[in-house]
Amino acid sequence: MKSIKLSKVLLQVLLIAFAVVQLYPLLFLFFFSLKDNNEIYSGNVMGLPQHFYWSNYENALLNANVGYYLLNSIFVTLVVILVSDILACMVSYAIARMTVKINGIVKTFFSLGLMIPLHAVLLPVFIMLRNLKMLDTYQAIIIPYIAFALPMAIFFMIGFFQTLPRELEESAFLDGCGIYRTFFQIMLPLVKPALATISVFTFLSTWNEMMFAITFINSEKYRTLTVGIMQMVGKYTTDWGTMGAGLMVATLPTIVIYLLFSKQVQSGMVSGAVKG
Amino acid sequence: MNKILGNKKAYFVFVFPAFVIYFVMAFIPIIISGYYSTLEWNGIGEKVFVGIENFLELLKNDAFLSSVKNSFILAAASVIGQLIPAMFFAIVLSRNIKGEGVYRTIYFIPVLLSTVVIGQLFLKIYNADYGALNALLQKLGLEGQDWLGNTKLVLAASFFPIIWQYIGYHMLILYTGIKGVPAEIYEAAQIDGANEKQMAFMITMPLIKSTIKVSMTFAVIGSLKLFDLIWVLTKGGPLHASEVPSTLMYTTIFTRMEYGSGSAIAVFIVLECLLFYFLIEKFFKVDNLTY
């Protein structure tokens, strides 16, 4: 009995130790976002700040423009989520419910997308955007992001539509409801929980995406947080506090969403793993 | 009813918008990548068709070969360094331990962070002059290192955050798998006198083989196509010491303007990922379990 108790304590120690390993880098970031260079250079890199320089945040948000990048990121991410959610719902409804011969081909076609790494299309999409004079615009990242959010969203939504009972639609059709009205007024409200999951998944991949963003976006006006922070590095390498504050601003929305929707985030990410 | 659901026009309306975006932004570019890989082209001048020349040259290119080697090392390190701790914590947390939900939530946090943020953060941790790691080492009386500037250390130093970030992801995947195993099986095993270790190795792991396969695929393929963290930390340097295929692809295309050769690397990455996907699929032939 005693040995069981001991091993339980030992397990808890291990669990806490691992929690520290997982959290410390974030805490380290928070700490140095509040320090000034003097403190860091005089040896206090790791610990609590002696003075809290909240002005680092002001500096990052206003002078380093992180506030503006934040707004850009929010705008881009919202558009991507909204459009890809609607498009994915339409396709998945058609695939899950409608009886058209080419259904199988359409489904396979979209699920192939789960296998395509972004690298494989980077250069062709870059040249395409360049020829269309669309480089360095919001569309330059929004459209590719939507395209790459679709396969996962469709894959997930088909599964969800298939679990819904058919009776509701049947009675709607009998009442003379057309297919579009049935879809928008009856089916869409029913898939809200699945939409939350898939939106969170799309949020994370869009918010954090880097390769397309740093390649397709350059000018100040369209920079999202990832691009903005990459560009900040040159100018603020030596200003740890401002850099740290910028990184905190980029991270905070994700953490807030995670704390609010941790169940959806977790289930969305687990189903996203199938994508590999 | 069937008439409504067989309505071809409505089907078209539902599928077409997504189809166009996806077709133009994902499907066609893949084919174009294949075409570019057969060219010698700097993006502006004339396109010269060279067949498989670009691929043959890659085989003679030391930077490319070492980048592939590095990505294999990362894949192996990820499977060992992520799956083993992930499995351990998943099993522990699934056995109704105190604080289960809190730990699960905390362990998952690194997964959510942007690689740009993690990269910048680790640049500060590894900083040779003022970094946290060297500060810690000095406190312990050890000598600090230039973690990302030393060709011998850079690979391990840049792989560490990559492996660290996704342990929580694998833990959650495996945990979800374990939670799908019916409790009665464990109860029966307990009655038969099985201890926790036996249950983990003889029951849990064999029963969640398909989940382990998902994790394995994710770890391997994620390693083979990794770009972000290496790009933020080292851009593949110094002297290609931390190069992976995708960073080499990026510099080949956008710094050296060798579009053909860069596309050949892109095609290589896609084929490599597919190959490993099917290899894992084959080695892990799993029967779908129903309880």
Nearest residue to B248 via CA among B264, B260, B232, B265: B265
CA distances from B226 to A205, B108, B161, B198, B230 (A): 15, 20, 12, 36, 8
Domain presence at residue B12: no
**Radius of gyration (Cα) for chain B, nearest Å?**
24
CB contact under 8 A, A229 and B120: yes
Domain presence at residue B48: no
Q: Amino acid identity of B229?
A: L
- Contact indicator for B165, B110 with CB cutoff of 8 Å: yes
- Contact indicator for B261, B252 with CB cutoff of 8 Å: yes
Quick check: B78 pLDDT over 50?
yes
Mean per-residue pLDDT for B229-248? 93
What residue spans define the domains of chain A? 68-234+263-273
CATH class of A68-234+263-273: mainly alpha
Whether B164 has its CB under 8 Å from any CB of chain A: the answer is: yes
The token duo for B156 is: 């391990």
Q: B9-46: per-residue pLDDT in tens? A: 999 999 999 999 999 999 999 999 999 999 999 888 88
- Contact indicator for A140, A184 with CB cutoff of 8 Å: no
Confidence of residue A79 (pLDDT cuts 50, 70, 90): very high
Beta pairing class for B39-40 and B48-49 = antiparallel
Mean per-residue pLDDT for B257-266? 95
CA distance A26 to B118: 9
Q: Which sign, positive or negative, has the C-alpha torsion A260, B167, A215, A114?
A: negative
Domain presence at residue B35: no
Residue B289 is predicted with a pLDDT of 65
- Contact indicator for B249, B71 with CB cutoff of 8 Å: no
Residue B291 is predicted with a pLDDT of 66
Run of H or E residues at B39: strand B39-40
CA distance A49 to B230: 30
DSSP state of A221: G
In sequence order, the 6+-apart residues with CB closer than 8 A to the CB of A217 are A136, A140, A141, A223, A224, A227
CA distance A211 to B228: 7
Share of chain A above pLDDT 90, in %: 47
Q: Which residues of A touch B250 (CB under 8 A)?
A: 122, 211
Domain presence at residue B63: yes
As beta bridge partners, residue B40 has: B48
Residue B288 is predicted with a pLDDT of 63
CA distance B100 to B172: 12
CA distances from A152 to A110, A159, A216 (A): 9, 11, 23
Residue A275 is predicted with a pLDDT of 46
Count of beta carbons in the 10 Å neighbourhood of residue B57:
16
CB contact under 8 A, B112 and A119: no
Quick check: B159 pLDDT over 90?
yes
Domain presence at residue B20: no
Count of beta carbons in the 10 Å neighbourhood of residue B209:
14
Quick check: A235 pLDDT over 80?
no
Mean per-residue pLDDT for B85-110? 91
Q: Which residues of A215-239 are buried (b: 16+ CB within 10 A; e: fewer)?
A: bbbeeeebbbbbbbbbbbeeebeeb
Domain presence at residue B16: no
DSSP code per residue over A159-180: HHHHHS-SHHHHHHHHTT--HH
Q: What's the CA dihedral at B56, B152, B155, B234 to 10 degrees?
A: -90
Share of chain B above pLDDT 70, in %: 97
Mean per-residue pLDDT for B222-247? 93
Q: Which residues of A touch B79 (CB under 8 A)?
A: none
Whether B217 has its CB under 8 Å from any CB of chain A: the answer is: yes
Q: A157-216: per-residue pLDDT in tens? A: 998 898 888 888 888 888 888 889 999 998 999 998 889 889 988 998 999 999 999 999
- Total domains in the fold of chain B: 1
SS (H, E, C) B148-192: CCCCCCHHHHHHHHHHHHHHHHHHHHHHHHHHCCCHHHHHHHHHC
CATH number at residue B156: 1.10.3720.10
Whether A133 has its CB under 8 Å from any CB of chain B: the answer is: no
Range of the domain at B274: 59-283
CA distance B290 to chain A (A): 18
CB contact under 8 A, B104 and A45: no
Whether A255 has its CB under 8 Å from any CB of chain B: the answer is: yes
Q: Which residues of A touch B124 (CB under 8 A)?
A: 28-29, 32, 45, 240, 243-244
Domain presence at residue B7: no
Chains A, B: CB contacts within 8 A come to 256
Confidence of residue A276 (pLDDT cuts 50, 70, 90): very low
Residue B97 is predicted with a pLDDT of 85
The token duo for B154 is: 């850079």
CA distance A116 to B271: 10
pTM (2 d.p.):
0.90
Whether A176 has its CB under 8 Å from any CB of chain B: the answer is: no
Domain presence at residue B26: no
CB contact under 8 A, A274 and B97: no
CA distances from A101 to A104, A107, A218, A234 (A): 7, 11, 45, 56
Whether B41 has its CB under 8 Å from any CB of chain A: the answer is: no
Quick check: A269 pLDDT over 80?
no
In sequence order, the 6+-apart residues with CB closer than 8 A to the CB of A65 are A220, A223, A228
- Contact indicator for B124, B178 with CB cutoff of 8 Å: no
Share of chain B above pLDDT 90, in %: 61
Confidence of residue A64 (pLDDT cuts 50, 70, 90): confident
